[in-house]
Structure 1
Amino acid sequence: MTELAALADTIRRNRATQPVSRLGYFCAPFRPPEGPFSDRVIKVYRSLPDAAALERLARCHGDYVAALQAAEVPLPATEFQLLEMDGGRVPVIVQEALPEASLMRPRMQRAPAEETLEMMEAAGQVIARFWNATQGSETRIGFHPSIRNFAIVEGRAVFFDTFPPLIHYSRDEMGRLLLQFSDSRLMRVVGPLMQRRVTGIQDEWYSPPETLVGLVGSACRLRPELAERYLAWGREFAGREMPRWAEEATEGMRHAPRLPGYWTGFRKLLGLQGEPNL
């Protein structure tokens, strides 16, 4: 169990630390260079004035991690805390650090074609396993298996994105959560004017075929010269490992999938790093 006073002190002392990623929408995770959490990545999120909402967030996160583990999704040790800091309670995730060299996105960018296809297969197996395990769930549950949310460790895809917890929240509630916890003040101010489109960002995460199509689309944007090979892999994988959703998934992979224009617009507005859309 994390020692909370030491965690709060670590966060205060390392707020200016170079983040391990600038790809995130909700926060800029960092890894302390020394101290008791030097083997952990720390993710600090915005607080809310609503204590009940924070307690619900904590419960949902615990349930989501349990659901991922029950679905045999490889996940580094992950702990959620509501940390007393700066006069409020701050949501914090402390997660076992993965080797930087294992992150799937940069590996996909530079690896030979056959190696990238092996990584796609590893990530695809996690997607199929999750959806096959959660079919018939009595609660609304989703999954965001983007290439940027995986690491490849000893040939196995390890998923490390547990926020927001995609369980129990209705579509409208999750849409509001996307704004409440955005790391961008601009998004929190402008977003409510585009609430319908912001809410729509999540739809792919709750659709088995669209999560697979999203993975393939990301690969096509990272390595456009290999797009046809990724599309062929995706169509074959859908029929082999996700047959109940194969028809819809295959339809989405006739051509290189494109991101919705409003989402690429949001990313530019927020200054998030990413590859250009095809």
Structure 2
Amino acid sequence: MTDLDELSRLIRADAQSRGQTISRLGYFCAPFRPDSGPLSDRVIKVYRGMGDAAALDRLKRCHDDYVEALLAGGVPMPATEFHFVDLGGARVPVVVQEALPVDSLMRPRMQKEPLASTLEMMEAAGQVIARFWLWARDQEGRIGFHPSIRNFAVIEGQAVFFDTFPPLIHYSRGEMGKMLLTFSDKRLMRIIGPLMQKRVTGIQDEWYSPPETLVGLVGSACRLRPDDAEAYLAWGRDFVTREMAHWSDEALAGLQAPPKLPGYWTGFRKLLGLQGEPNV
């Protein structure tokens, strides 16, 4: 179990003494890993607090349920805990997660390794996607999954997923749309987002669609390595036919050409400076 006193101390510490910031470009937070101490083998993700105690309690319940659901759906994950830390009288949500080797993160590996190796990683990630959705098909209630390239590591041929926030379970579409604004780490998004709530809400739709999550994975690969786009499209078409046949018609329709991000989300990303770095 996490030493909560040490966790609180680290979060309160000056940024220079916290340790290494793993990513500065996340939508919800900038995770960091302590350089030393009992939590040096963990990545710490601190999210925005909110004044609604009941909503925070629900958030914890949903996060716990979501981690349990991902594991039940056969999604390999590092050890993950959810805690609240008191900062200036506010309860702040914190996710503490077992750190993965930096050289295992899928996105940078996809950028630098040979095509054959990247196709093996795509297969590993695809197997996780297919396995989860085949399990989720028999579950009740609304549940989603955000298996983008930046949310995976690949270790010894196995794709490991590490993005559990926001918890894509139990919340309605409208509620999740509001969460995308409430917990955004980008002040600009919180200011302008309510003016475009309908479009912000639409960001999540891919996460709740089995074929679109696979198409999204292929789209990310095509954008990372446009010269190899045809190889990724061919892999995607073959994969959905043999592993996700239940959704193959819809997925194949999205894999005739390199998939593109919706225009409004591309605009949001440019506005917020989000470049798709690993969301560790």
Short-chain TM bin: over 0.9
Looking at structure 1, the residues matched to 49 and 59 of structure 2 have their Cα atoms a distance apart, in angstroms, of: 11
- Relative contact order (C-alpha < 8 Å, sep 6+): which is higher? 2
Map 1:97-108 onto structure 2 (within 5 A): 97-108=99-110
C-alpha offsets along residues 48-86 of structure 1, whole Å, 9 cap, x if unaligned?
Answer: 000000000000000000000101100000000011222
23-32 vs 196-205, greater mean Cα deviation: 23-32
Name the counterpart of 2:13. 13
Name the counterpart of 2:209. 207
Match of 1:243 among 242, 245, 250: 245
C-alpha offsets along residues 73-131 of structure 1, whole Å, 9 cap, x if unaligned?
Answer: 00000000011222110000000000000000000000000000000000000000000
Match of 1:165 among 164, 167, 187: 167
Map 1:175-190 onto structure 2 (within 5 A): 175-190=177-192
Deviation at 1:35, TM superposition (A): 1.1
Looking at structure 1, the residues matched to 273 and 34 of structure 2 have their Cα atoms a distance apart, in angstroms, of: 24
Match of 2:193 among 181, 185, 191: 191
Match of 1:60 among 44, 55, 62: 62
Q: 1:208/1:251 Cα in 2 relative to 1: closer, same or farther (>3 Å)? A: same
Looking at structure 2, the residues matched to 158 and 274 of structure 1 have their Cα atoms a distance apart, in angstroms, of: 17
Name the counterpart of 2:84. 82
2:154 partner SS: strand
Alignment-mate amino acid for residue 100 of structure 1: V
Q: 1:115/1:255 Cα in 2 relative to 1: closer, same or farther (>3 Å)? A: same
RMSD: 1.0
Looking at structure 1, the residues matched to 88 and 204 of structure 2 have their Cα atoms a distance apart, in angstroms, of: 31
2:153 partner SS: strand
Tell me the number of residue pairs that the alignment of Structure 1 and Structure 2 aligns.
Answer: 275
8 A Cα contact 1:14 1:32, kept in partner:
no
Alignment-mate amino acid for residue 13 of structure 1: A
C-alpha offsets along residues 156-189 of structure 1, whole Å, 9 cap, x if unaligned?
Answer: 0000000000000000000000000000111101
TM-score w.r.t. structure 1 length?
0.97
C-alpha offsets along residues 187-224 of structure 1, whole Å, 9 cap, x if unaligned?
Answer: 10110000000000000000000000000000000000
C-alpha offsets along residues 218-243 of structure 1, whole Å, 9 cap, x if unaligned?
Answer: 00000001100000000000010000
Name the counterpart of 2:53. 51
Looking at structure 1, the residues matched to 136 and 180 of structure 2 have their Cα atoms a distance apart, in angstroms, of: 23
Name the counterpart of 1:128. 130
Deviation at 1:150, TM superposition (A): 0.1
Deviation at 1:146, TM superposition (A): 0.3
2:15 partner SS: coil
Looking at structure 1, the residues matched to 109 and 268 of structure 2 have their Cα atoms a distance apart, in angstroms, of: 26
Structure 2 gap ranges (5+): none
Name the counterpart of 1:22. 24
Match of 1:258 among 240, 260, 272: 260
Pairing 1:113–2:115 present:
yes
Deviation at 1:4, TM superposition (A): 1.2
C-alpha offsets along residues 234-262 of structure 1, whole Å, 9 cap, x if unaligned?
Answer: 00000100000001000000000000111
Looking at structure 1, the residues matched to 186 and 98 of structure 2 have their Cα atoms a distance apart, in angstroms, of: 26
Deviation at 1:18, TM superposition (A): 4.3
Identical columns (%)? 72
8 A Cα contact 2:129 2:147, kept in partner:
yes
Q: Structure 1 residue runs of 4+, over 6 Å off?
A: none
Alignment-mate amino acid for residue 31 of structure 2: P
Looking at structure 2, the residues matched to 101 and 61 of structure 1 have their Cα atoms a distance apart, in angstroms, of: 27
Q: 1:234/1:5 Cα in 2 relative to 1: closer, same or farther (>3 Å)? A: same
Structure 1 gap ranges (5+): none
Name the counterpart of 2:33. 31
Deviation at 1:14, TM superposition (A): 5.1
1:5 partner SS: helix
1:94 partner SS: strand
8 A Cα contact 1:149 1:159, kept in partner:
yes
